[in-house]
Structure 1
């Protein structure tokens, strides 16, 4: 697989989002299956794996995904780039704990979970408005100097926030929502990141499976811990309304002997030299299919035709790439998690 740069790091041009092995897409697979899936991805050529401290049951099994990924990559840890994320809550600082101390505590827990002594790419997982992210940026420089992390990044941010953090400690990557049906990043994030040599790492680049064409208007998602219930494009009415986009993808996938999902990934790889998508799935077949998009190359003419066709479509069900804008999606997801945790405690 071809390589791309994230700061000083070299990664496969398509990475792997590992969240689905621990939560977010209904019932999780058996551990052995998940570990095998990650190892198959590595054998395919993937060298970039993404996780987070909160992927799993936050209350009853924090760190589940990090532990799983750590087990899977143990034999080839030095040959890959590991990314994980942390979130700071103001309560952690209430007793006089410094932002450095709180961040270091999160990082040490992740290092233990991942069974490693450094993290290649450490993200601030969403910006908490009550915790000064400029101070977090300063802490990241210190962690880099200490050799505990190699690069740092931010997630779900706009260009203004990114610029303020980047001025303190250079940011290597921004992990934002970006796909054919969520293109806000093209307005502010991509221009800024291209100018300042920052990688953009899209999560949900296949729009939670919508762009694969495998999700239909009558598809029923799992009742427990399936975030797709709250994704705007996956409501019945929006799946129907956005059908023209799938028709365009189907036309190109037939011509290129590829799948819809592969065309959607090939489109962004062709469009931006600094993009490194991290499609996620808990299904081994889908994971290898997504990575196979690296073998699908659009010509300049094909890209122009695809781009023109997409630009002529109206997208129904907008979510937005900045976390503070995602009021409905975030609230519904958090309310469900709180309800599950309450039931488990009982």
Structure 2
């Protein structure tokens, strides 16, 4: 496994996003299956594990705490605050006292004395970003958090936060079909020396060539059912992009999933993709994606094939888009 710098840490070039072991994609796997996957990831060379207080309303942190505590010295552990489950509902709350409360609860569930990278999961737009970051800076000074991150924010918000306390990483969605990071945040991260952690690098399974009929394949509570790109008309158009994509993967002698990960790794040494999976087979496949080397011509072909102009449907629905702070591309007339 290759390694990359993440602020003060050296981590595996690919990290494991743990959300779907407890949250958002329908029925979670059995605890023993989730445990086996986490340990297999560790044995495969993955040293960067990403969770959040929101995932399973604490269940995901509890899972990681139970399974990874004996291996804590081997990993860089990231979690998130500011978006949690309250009385069965998702709540965004960036008030300083709430973030400090979140941290204490996360430390207990994770069974650790310190969180290596602690993200503000969402910017609570009712609270100045400076106030929320100030609370996280307090946690650093108290030794409960080693470094600070931000999730789903704009370049402007990143700069405001970084002026209060150095930001180690910005996490946002980035893949061939989600390119908003290229508007401004990637450039801002590079200017400030902030690592970019790319979630959903496989386009929520679109780029794996395993999801051909969302209506039939996705469970009722799968979050993709609320995303415009997975609506039948849009998804049918998006599937038209796959034949050429699969040809490029065949030429590169890798699987479609490995091609998606290799494209991101080729975009810069400061980008760390975190993929999610529930199966050992897909875990092994994705880990091997770190060994795929793409030449400049192949990267350019992929850029031209799948991008904001060729993908059908916006990234999020209107309600979800209002909760995030990232830049967006103009909607085509």
With structure 1 as the length reference, what TM-score do the two structures score?
A: 0.85
The alignment status of 1:291 with 2:287, answered yes or no, reads: yes
Which deviations, in whole Å up to 9, do the C-alpha atoms of 1:32-89 show, x marking residues without a partner? 1101101101111100111111111xxxxx3100000111212211111111011169
Where does residue 67 of structure 1 map in the other structure? 62
The aligned counterpart of 2:326 is none
Q: CA shift at 1:313, angstroms? A: 5.8
Encode CA deviations 1:211-234: one digit per residue, 9 max, x unaligned: 111111365244443111122222
Stretches of structure 1 that go unaligned for 5 or more consecutive residues are 57-61, 92-97, 321-325, 332-346
2: distance between equivalents of 1:154 and 1:88?
A: 12
TM superposition shift of 1:99: 4.4
Give 1:245-260 correspondences, 5 Å limit: 245-260=241-256
Asked if 1 retains the 8 angstrom alpha-carbon contact of 2:211 and 2:217, the reply is no
Q: Which residue of 2 aligns with 1:168?
A: 164
The structure with the greater share of residues assigned to strand is 2
Say if 2:150 and 2:158, in contact at 8 Å, map to a contact too: yes
- Structure-to-structure mapping, 1:313-324, within 5 angstroms: 314-319=310-315
1:112: Cα distance to partner? Answer: 0.5
Q: Distance in 2 between matches of 1:116 and 1:7?
A: 20
Partner residue in 2 for 1:157: 153
Distance 1:15 1:7, change over 3 A: same
Displacement, 1:259? 1.0
The answer to which of 151-160 and 139-148 deviates more is 139-148
Work out whether 1:21 is the aligned partner of 2:21.
yes
Q: Deviations over 1:112-149 (max 9, x none)?
A: 00000000000101111112221111222221122111
Cα distance in 1 for partners of 2:20, 2:308 equals 33
User: In the TM superposition, what whole-angstrom CA distance separates every residue of 1:258-317 from its partner, at most 9, and x where no partner exists?
Assistant: 111110110011012211111112222222222221011112232233334445961111
> For residues 274 and 155 of structure 1, do their structure 2 counterparts lie closer, same or farther at Cα, with a shift above 3 Å needed?
same
Superposed, which structure 2 residues align to 1:24-173 within 5 Å? 24-56=24-56, 62-87=57-82, 99-173=95-169
1:214 counterpart = 2:205:
no
After superposition, the CA RMSD in angstroms is 2.2
C-alpha spacing 1:149/1:308, structure 2 compared with 1 (3 Å): same
Partner of 2:242, secondary structure, is: helix
Q: 1:201 touches 1:276 (CA, 8 Å); kept in 2?
A: yes
Match of 1:327 among 295, 318, 322: 318
Alpha-carbon distance change, 330 to 69 in structure 1, aligned in 2, over 3 angstroms: farther
CA distance in 1, matches of 2:230, 2:255: 19
Superposition deviation, residue 329 in structure 1: 4.4
Q: Which moved more, 1:228-237 or 1:30-39?
A: 228-237
Corresponding residue SS for 1:297:
coil
**Distance in 2 between the 1:100 and 1:307 partners?**
41
Structure 1 Cα separation of the partners of residues 301 and 225 of structure 2: 32
Change (3 A) 1:193 1:52: same
Tell me the CA shift for residue 7 of structure 1. Answer: 1.1
1:14 and 1:234 map into 2 onto residues whose CA distance is 26
With the length of structure 2 as denominator, give the TM-score of the two structures. 0.88
Contact kept, 8 Å, 1:66 with 1:110, in 2: the verdict is yes
The answer as to whether partners of 2:214 and 2:230 remain within 8 angstroms in 1 is: no
Instruction: Give the count of matched residue pairs.
Output: 315
Task: Please give the per-residue CA displacement for 1:232-276, whole angstroms capped at 9, x wherever unaligned.
Answer: 222222222123432232012111221111101100110122111
Q: Judge conservation of contact 1:125–1:154 (CA < 8 Å) in 2.
A: yes
2:203 alignment partner, SS class:
coil
Aligned equivalent of 2:261, options 258, 265, 277: 265
**What SS class does the counterpart of residue 55 from structure 2 fall into?**
coil
- Provide closer, same or farther for how the CA distance between residues 25 and 214 of structure 1 changes in structure 2, counting only shifts above 3 A: same
